[in-house]
Amino acid sequence: MPRNQSTAAQRARAAQRETGAKYTAALRQATTAEVSPTVFSLRELLAECTTLPEWTGDHPEVDAEWAPRMFDSVLLAGPVPYTAVLLLTGELAAMTLSAEMTMESRDGFHEVVVACGGRRFQLALTQDDWVVELCLVPGCRSYPVATAVIPYCENQHLAERSGAELAKMAWAWGYHRRQEFENTPAAAHTGDQGNALVTAAVAQGAFSKVAAELADGCYGDPDLVNEIYLNDSEAMAVRHAIEREHLLLRERARSAAAHIRKLVGGLCVCGATLHLAPWADVPARYCSSSCASSAATVQGSR
């Protein structure tokens, strides 16, 4: 056996001898981690990547001509592509090399999921250059609405955040858009990501605050437009953009509320008809703030 064959491969060979199992099946099992979180630093992972020799085993999922160049990582419980770790390091460039990291899971030779600095990443083990960010909730396989800025998936976990969390993300996303449209501020808009935040806010009864934070982040304080944009025509254009954005966000809120009410049959848990506008700041599935408070109390006591 080559000196740099993986420890996972060694375990697979041992299992093959003991049980008669096929080598590739044993190798998949040996590298499918039941992970007890081990904390290590980004520096330690990078040191492995830059110092360990190339793994010479047979990739059980990919033909040899397509298999990525890999090293046998102790920290990630088996062979990992060199390039994937370097790409991950690039994604975490804003972090220090001492940033703490954990391996959340490993699925044989298919993927590894790691967490670092309040972010989660999927590293593909079947090719060199596939590293994608995942929703921040452990175990979720969906992508975030906007990496780092809105780190939750749109279909489920964003709507579970509190109104305060959504407002914080809303301002951060708006400011991100302001920087993106720095040279044409009146053309800025909050886009699909802003719509996702509004939809989540409607579910939480936090539309007014989230919409205000989106617009303030995107264009600046509306009371200071003339001070921020010294050119009169540009200031006027930005004012129109703010008005347009608020109208679009309200329309999105109406649509989101209608969708939620359709899902719950149009009735509150108390039997009353759902009718409040989203800017009443009551979760769309309740008929009043008292109903929403009562439901929260019941849930909290469980």
Give the pLDDT score at 5: 41
Q: Quick count: other Cβ atoms within 10 Å of Cβ 278?
A: 27
Check: CB of residue 26 under 8 Å from CB of residue 12: yes
Q: Which of 18, 46, 41, 48 has its CA nearest to residue 30?
A: 18
pLDDT tens for the chain, 302 residues: list them: 333 344 555 555 555 555 555 545 555 555 554 556 688 999 999 999 999 999 988 898 888 889 999 999 999 999 999 999 999 999 998 888 889 999 999 999 999 999 998 899 999 999 888 999 999 999 999 999 998 899 999 999 999 999 999 999 999 999 999 999 999 999 999 999 999 999 999 999 999 999 999 999 999 998 888 888 878 899 999 999 999 999 999 999 999 999 999 999 999 989 999 999 999 999 999 999 999 888 766 555 55
Give the pLDDT score at 25: 57
